[in-house]
């Protein structure tokens, strides 16, 4: 490969540099900006930041991703630099003599070098990856694990705690796990209709909920708080509003929550009219209120509806106005959801809302 | 594009009526005309699918936007993906292959000209059928019945239970029909390259363009067929009471994914290999050197072809296939990065030590190198299964594949347009407009697709018609949307350049780039019969040999 | 055939490339093989997974006779092509007709088998997973036999009107490749459905 004399002025080089940088700069800026956004893992600017792990699977993935980013980043920098150099240095000079440059057809040694080095890099990446796959996917539940069954529906989440006798919807409550004495939660993932995916980035990678194909995943959240996510496999019209909320509580809070969730609904004469409306219209075909005749399973269990912060799988805050609006016209909150508008009169709506407000 | 016979001096050719000229185009079996038909068809759909993308991005410019309803949004992303892959990128690549392969191998036409025409019209009809869904089968009553199941149409969402009406059927039938067209073209390409090369052009002496399209055609034959099979199965489920993907009857939703991705992964190599072909022709000419490592490039392409058939389930890392299966697909996916990287290094080495002229084709192909490098590396990141457990089905993946398809394939395509436009039209394009196109488009590309990675890293899944504020996604989505308008302007400049230059451009001559492959030895545009006498070649660069008789390539190859 | 002798710089250059019809047929066979592979994979995957309904051994009877017919038709077509190449148009015609007859016999056998399954056993494509995969796999093969028979019959018509001569032997061989492929697929289908799957 002949060496070109570098007598040409800076003008051409500058233009070459500009074109090279036009491509490289945004890439750097964006990843740099992203890095700044991720700077403080304890106070994430985003509650769904994959670089702010709060659970062992998420932490293993985080560690692996740093390694992978470092390796791919290094490769990018080296090759980018070489490309930039060739774009700048081998540009046709203004005072070019019009002869063709030396015609080089190839070089076996060079080809060997840039085959062997990538193969070695691939081997290293593969071994690191295989290790984390085994770590996350070959773990069996320890004796003190909490077992949850999550069933995906269009467009809400059903949660059952088979050993604790609790059935709820949309807001998952778990005990915090002490890293020294872990109490992980093992979730069995099923689906009642089409494909869904459970993704709470700070707690772990996503796993799909596929009908007739049970999956399992585990998490051990190590800090209390609320963790957010949403369905990550397109499941129909309202896929976007199948939101996830995971409430990680202290052991005591969690036990208290379990006890409360186990209670059936208490009859309350003040809202008997609303209860009658509920039980004589189609509501009971889809919803369960334990302790009453309502035992439908198509829609969420409503026994403790008022213990939740949101309705419609996170689509709206759980306020009386929203609740009333949801029953009157679900499309106003979540167009395309499978809850039908119940065609109730204002009076019926008021009574019904009052009844539901007692389901704590 | 002239089919007029050579005029004898002293005579005037009567101008033919428009009907006669149109009939020429509709009934043609000439590979050059069919190539141009494919390309124009693809450009029309590029505009349509581009508008669909703009609609999607406007809806996502801020959280809880209500520019369009969720139903319309879901149709938009399904149509955008399906259109871009099957009715933009595949046709335009088949168009260039059709136009150039016979010229590059010294042949008069493709092996089967009538099959060629049939394949084009099948593909064309498929696209029209897909868009007929907007008005057909109760479409007009229901404000459009376009498919809304995503371009990969996962079961059981596509069953009669969850996809009521005919929208999914339009998806199935349009792709079934155009699939037959694709397989027909692929068979034609293989037969042409294996059976119609001019004397002296052994497989080791044909342009890399031909090699890459040969492997691409092989992949189409082996990969589009599984999609055809899966779609027949889906039709049987929907109309004959079958249970292939009926989970209530014990069927498997996962097996649809396997069948689809056995098609879907090689499909992306079908899309990218011709882009490699363009780059492998443009970079040597504008660097004034032969391609570095021709044999290694061929070997790497063959390796990519083989390995690409074994990586499909990296699209299914989150589906629950088990640790061992996941691990296998990690290694196979990482393996394919090696020959792909080798190709990048070879292009780099071709430029190294050359005398590079940054005309518009070279600008686009150089940008391809930088961008394809980045795209390939995000692909390596995604091959790490645990990373995909976080980032699968998120905007990181959307950013990755658009980086490959737009930043890689589309840029290479623009390079190809500018490079071969003089040959196809006989006119030079405007270099000023070409450079304007480049700079406007590249700004838009990076604004959109660089910053699109970030919402993915911050937890934003794909295929959502709106998103919650307070997740840190808002600013990035805004920037992503702004970039789209730059790209739109760039495309308009591009189309304006093509049209204006075709009407008013300077005559280009047969070899404006001082290039070395056989197509540059014909007139611009080539006559209907391509070559007056059958070429005989002795090396990979027959025109270099003619231009440098004292120093021919065959002494060195 | 693509054989040319060219003179290049004083040296004679023999230039033989494969026949494009043959290459195209091989590509078509590859594509069809890929389609059949997917249907076979589905069949094998779903063996034993039906939730209800008849199992293969409950309803299937091994179609020995019709299989022998189809496989023999590969022999007859092979010899037909050989005879044509040697110029024996009459013997070609006879063997070609035999091929068509054997192929039609196979279809007849499939037809009667299906009639029995549907009307006597009540076993249809919608009955269970086995029904879906069985009818689609055997049906897809049967469809390819039909297409093959149509092509063979077209050639038969041309033969009877005296248009087929020994120079067409190459094209006849290419067509017979398709017919051999159909037979090979049947060997696979037969093994998977009637031997392994039962």
* C15 and B CB contact within 8 Å: yes
Domain ranges of chain C: 20-48+62-196
Cβ contact C60:C198 at 8 Å: yes
Neighbours of A66 (CB within 10 A): 11
N residues, chain C: 198
* Test the A interface: residue of B69, B161, B370, B411 with most A CBs within 10 Å: B370
pLDDT above 70 (res A39): no
The answer to whether the Cβ–Cβ distance between B355 and A93 falls below 8 Å is yes
CA of B343 vs chain C CAs: smallest distance (Å): 27
Radius of gyration of chain A (CA): 29
Q: Which chain C residue lies closest to B219 (C-alpha atoms)?
A: C31
- Once rounded to an integer, what is the mean pLDDT over residues B90-95? 98
* Helical (H) or strand (E) element with C15: strand C11-17
pLDDT of residue A26: 55
pLDDT of residue A140: 87
* A335 and B CB contact within 8 Å: yes
Q: What is the per-residue pLDDT across A267-320, written as a single tens digit (0 to 9) for each?
A: 888 999 999 999 998 899 999 999 999 999 999 999 999 999 999 999 999 999
* Test the C interface: residue of B203, B221, B248 with most C CBs within 10 Å: B221
pLDDT of residue C197: 84
Q: What is the per-residue pLDDT across B376-385, written as a single tens digit (0 to 9) for each?
A: 999 999 999 9
pLDDT above 50 (res A218): yes
Cα–Cα distance for residue pair B67/B56, rounded to 1 Å: 9
pLDDT of residue C39: 98
* Test the B interface: residue of A90, A219, A337 with most B CBs within 10 Å: A90
Contacts of B387 in chain A (CB under 8 A): 61, 64-65, 68
- Once rounded to an integer, what is the mean pLDDT over residues B304-326? 97
A108: exposed, middle or buried (Cβ count in 10 Å: 0-12, 13-18, 19+): exposed
**pLDDT band at residue A18 under the 50/70/90 scheme:** low
Exposure string of C67-85, with b = 16+ CB inside 10 Å and e = fewer, is bebbbbbbebbbbbbbbbb
pLDDT of residue C127: 96
Q: Which chains touch C (3 or more CB pairs under 8 A)?
A: B
Q: What is the DSSP letter of C71?
A: H
**pLDDT band at residue B550 under the 50/70/90 scheme:** very high
- Sheet strands (E) in A251-323: 310-311, 316-317
- Once rounded to an integer, what is the mean pLDDT over residues C27-46? 98
pLDDT above 90 (res B179): yes
pLDDT of residue A268: 87
- Sheet strands (E) in chain A: 146-153, 156-161, 166-169, 171-175, 185-191, 196-198, 207-209, 215-219, 225-230, 243-249, 310-311, 316-317
CA of A304 vs chain B CAs: smallest distance (Å): 25
pLDDT of residue A3: 35
**Choice among A10-19, A188-197, B179-188, C159-168 with the minimum mean pLDDT:** A10-19
Long-range contacts of A6-12 (CB under 8 A, 24+ apart): A6/A89, A8/A93, A8/A94, A8/A95, A12/A91, A12/A93, A12/A94
Q: What is the per-residue pLDDT across B45-84, written as a single tens digit (0 to 9) for each?
A: 999 999 999 999 999 999 999 999 999 999 999 999 999 9
What pTM does this model have?
Answer: 0.94
pLDDT of residue B187: 98
Q: How far is CA B339 from CA A120, A288, B300, in A?
A: 13, 58, 5
- What is the CATH topology of the domain spanning C20-48+62-196? 1.20.120
The answer to whether the Cβ–Cβ distance between B200 and C42 falls below 8 Å is no
Q: How far is CA B256 from CA B313, C40, C178, in A?
A: 12, 14, 29
- Once rounded to an integer, what is the mean pLDDT over residues C68-84? 97
**pLDDT band at residue B556 under the 50/70/90 scheme:** confident
Q: Is the ipTM of this complex over 0.85?
A: yes
| pLDDT-above-90 percentage for chain B | 94
Structure tokens at B261: 């991705």
**Choice among A166-170, B136-140, B325-329, C76-80 with the minimum mean pLDDT:** B136-140
Q: What are chain A's domains?
A: 2-90+105-137 (no CATH), 269-356 (2.60.40.420)
**Choice among A39-48, B498-507, C13-22 with the minimum mean pLDDT:** A39-48
Structure tokens at B232: 């027949």
**pLDDT band at residue A138 under the 50/70/90 scheme:** confident
Mean pLDDT for all residues in chain B: 95
Q: Which chain B residue lies closest to C39 (C-alpha atoms)?
A: B229
Q: Where are the alpha helices (DSSP H) in B60-166?
A: 70-82, 90-104, 113-132
Contacts of B289 in chain A (CB under 8 A): 100-104
Identify the residue with better confidence: A144 or C31: C31
**pLDDT band at residue A32 under the 50/70/90 scheme:** low
The answer to whether the Cβ–Cβ distance between C35 and B228 falls below 8 Å is yes
* C30 and B CB contact within 8 Å: yes
Q: Which chain C residue lies closest to B221 (C-alpha atoms)?
A: C31
Neighbours of C149 (CB within 10 A): 20
Task: Name the strands in the sheet holding A171-175, side by side, starting at the edge strand that comes first in the sequence.
Answer: A171-175, A243-249, A225-230
Cα–Cα distance for residue pair B463/B394, rounded to 1 Å: 9
pLDDT of residue A321: 96
Q: Which chain A residue lies closest to B556 (C-alpha atoms)?
A: A105
Q: Which chains touch A (3 or more CB pairs under 8 A)?
A: B
Helix (H, G, I), strand (E, B) or coil at B32: helix
CA of B487 vs chain A CAs: smallest distance (Å): 15
CA of B464 vs chain A CAs: smallest distance (Å): 4
pLDDT of residue C5: 46
The answer to whether the Cβ–Cβ distance between A101 and B288 falls below 8 Å is yes
């Amino acid at each position: 490969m002949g060496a070109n004399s570098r007598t040409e002025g800076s003008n051409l080089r500058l233009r070459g540099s500009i074109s090279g940088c036009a491509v490289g700069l945004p890439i750097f800026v964006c990843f740099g900006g992203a890095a700044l956004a991720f700077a403080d893992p304890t106070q994430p600017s985003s509650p769904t930041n994959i670089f702010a792990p709060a659970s062992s699977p998420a932490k293993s993935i985080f560690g692996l991703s740093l390694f992978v980013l470092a390796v791919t980043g290094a490769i990018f920098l080296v090759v980018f630099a070489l490309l930039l150099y060739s774009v700048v240095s081998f540009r046709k000079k203004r005072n070019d003599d019009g002869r063709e440059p030396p015609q080089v057809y190839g070089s076996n040694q060079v080809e060997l070098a840039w085959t062997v080095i990538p193969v070695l890099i691939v081997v290293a990446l593969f071994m690191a990856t295989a290790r984390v796959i085994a770590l996350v996917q070959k773990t069996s539940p320890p004796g003190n694990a909490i077992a949850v069954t999550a069933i995906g529906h269009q467009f809400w989440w059903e949660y059952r705690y088979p050993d604790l006798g609790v059935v709820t919807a949309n807001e998952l409550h778990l005990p915090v796990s002490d890293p020294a004495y872990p109490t992980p939660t093992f979730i069995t993932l099923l689906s009642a209709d089409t494909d869904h995916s459970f993704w709470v980035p700070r707690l772990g990678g996503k796993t799909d909920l596929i009908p007739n194909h049970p999956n399992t995943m585990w998490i051990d959240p190590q800090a209390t708080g609320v963790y957010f996510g949403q369905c990550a496999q397109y499941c129909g019209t309202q896929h976007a509003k199948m939101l996830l909320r995971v409430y990680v509580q202290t052991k005591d809070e969690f036990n208290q929550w379990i006890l409360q969730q186990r209670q059936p609904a208490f009859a309350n004469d003040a809202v008997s009219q609303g209860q009658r409306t509920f039980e004589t219209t189609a509501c009971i075909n889809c919803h369960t209120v334990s302790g009453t005749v309502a035992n439908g399973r198509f829609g969420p269990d409503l026994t403790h509806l008022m213990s939740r912060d949101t309705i419609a799988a996170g689509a709206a805050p759980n306020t009386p106005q929203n609740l009333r609006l949801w029953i009157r016209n679900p499309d106003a909150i979540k167009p395309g959801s499978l809850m039908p508008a119940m065609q109730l009169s204002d009076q019926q709506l008021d009574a019904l809302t009052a009844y539901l407000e007692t389901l704590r | 594009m002239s089919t007029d016979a050579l005029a004898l001096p002293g005579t005037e050719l009567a101008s033919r009526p428009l009907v006669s000229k149109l009939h020429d185009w509709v009934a043609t079996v000439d590979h050059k005309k069919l190539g141009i038909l494919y390309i124009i068809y693809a450009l029309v759909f590029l505009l349509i699918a581009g508008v669909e993308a703009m609609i999607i991005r406007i809806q996502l410019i801020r959280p809880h936007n209500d520019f369009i309803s969720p139903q319309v949004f879901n149709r938009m992303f399904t149509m955008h993906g399906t259109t871009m892959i099957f009715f933009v990128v595949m046709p335009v690549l088949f168009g260039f292959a059709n136009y150039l392969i016979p010229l590059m191998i010294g042949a008069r036409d493709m092996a089967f000209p009538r099959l060629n025409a049939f394949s084009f019209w099948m593909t064309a009809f498929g696209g029209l059928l897909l868009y007929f869904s907007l008005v057909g089968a109760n479409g007009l009553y229901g404000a459009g019945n376009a498919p809304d199941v995503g371009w990969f149409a996962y079961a059981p969402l596509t069953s009669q239970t969850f996809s009521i009406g005919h929208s999914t059927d339009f998806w199935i039938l349009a792709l079934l029909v155009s699939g037959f067209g694709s397989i027909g073209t692929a068979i034609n390409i293989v037969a042409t390259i294996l059976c119609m090369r001019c004397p002296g052009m052994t497989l080791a002496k044909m342009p890399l363009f031909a090699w890459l399209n040969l492997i691409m055609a092989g992949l189409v034959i082996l990969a589009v067929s599984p999609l055809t099979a899966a779609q027949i199965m889906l039709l049987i489920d929907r109309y004959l009471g079958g249970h292939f993907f009926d989970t209530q009857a014990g069927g498997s939703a996962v097996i649809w994914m396997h069948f689809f991705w056995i098609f879907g992964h090689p499909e992306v190599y079908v899309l990218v290999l011709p882009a490699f072909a363009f780059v492998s022709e443009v970079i040597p000419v504008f660097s004034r050197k032969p391609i570095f490592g021709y044999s290694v490039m061929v070997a790497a392409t063959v390796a990519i072809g083989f390995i690409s058939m074994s990586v499909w389930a990296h699209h299914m890392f989150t589906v629950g296939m088990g640790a061992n299966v996941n691990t296998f697909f990690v290694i196979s996916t990482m393996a394919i990065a090696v020959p792909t990287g080798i190709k990048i290094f070879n292009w780099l080495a071709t430029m190294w030590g050359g005398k590079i002229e940054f005309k518009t084709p070279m600008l686009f192909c150089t940008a391809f190198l930088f961008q394809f490098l980045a795209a390939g590396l995000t692909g390596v990141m995604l091959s790490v299964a645990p990373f995909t457990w976080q980032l699968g089905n998120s905007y990181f993946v959307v950013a990755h594949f658009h980086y490959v398809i737009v930043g890689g394939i589309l840029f290479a395509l623009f390079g190809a347009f500018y490079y071969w436009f003089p040959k196809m039209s006989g006119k030079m394009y405007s270099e000023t407009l070409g450079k304007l196109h480049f700079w406007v488009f590249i700004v838009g590309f990076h604004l959109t697709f660089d910053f699109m990675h970030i919402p993915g890293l911050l937890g934003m899944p794909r295929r959502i018609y709106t998103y919650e504020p307070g997740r840190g996604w808002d600013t990035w989505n805004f920037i992503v949307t702004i970039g789209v308008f730059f790209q739109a302007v760039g495309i308009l400049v591009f189309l304006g350049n093509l049209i204006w230059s075709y009407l008013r451009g300077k005559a280009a001559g047969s070899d404006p780039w001082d290039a070395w492959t056989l197509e540059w030895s014909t007139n611009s545009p080539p006559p209907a019969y391509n070559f007056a006498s059958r070429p005989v070649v002795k090396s990979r660069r027959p025109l270099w040999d003619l231009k440098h008789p004292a120093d021919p390539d065959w002494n060195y190859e | 055939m693509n054989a040319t002798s060219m003179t290049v710089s004083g040296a004679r250059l023999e230039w033989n490339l494969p026949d494009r019809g043959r290459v195209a047929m091989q590509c078509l066979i590859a594509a069809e093989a890929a389609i059949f592979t997917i249907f076979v994979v589905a069949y094998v995957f779903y063996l034993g997974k039906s939730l209800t309904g008849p199992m293969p051994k409950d309803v299937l009877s091994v179609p020995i006779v019709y299989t022998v017919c189809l496989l023999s038709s590969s022999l007859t077509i092979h010899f037909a092509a050989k005879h044509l190449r040697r110029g024996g148009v009459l013997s070609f015609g006879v063997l070609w007709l035999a091929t068509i007859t054997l192929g039609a016999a196979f279809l007849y056998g499939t037809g009667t088998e299906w009639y029995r399954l549907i009307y006597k056993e009540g076993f249809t494509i919608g009955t269970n997973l086995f029904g879906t995969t069985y009818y689609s796999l055997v049906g897809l093969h049967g469809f390819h036999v039909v297409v093959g028979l149509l092509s063979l019959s077209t050639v038969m018509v041309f033969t009877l009107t005296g248009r087929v001569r020994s120079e067409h032997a190459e094209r006849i061989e290419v067509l017979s490749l398709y017919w051999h492929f159909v037979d090979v697929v049947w060997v696979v289908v037969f093994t998977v459905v009637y031997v392994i799957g039962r």
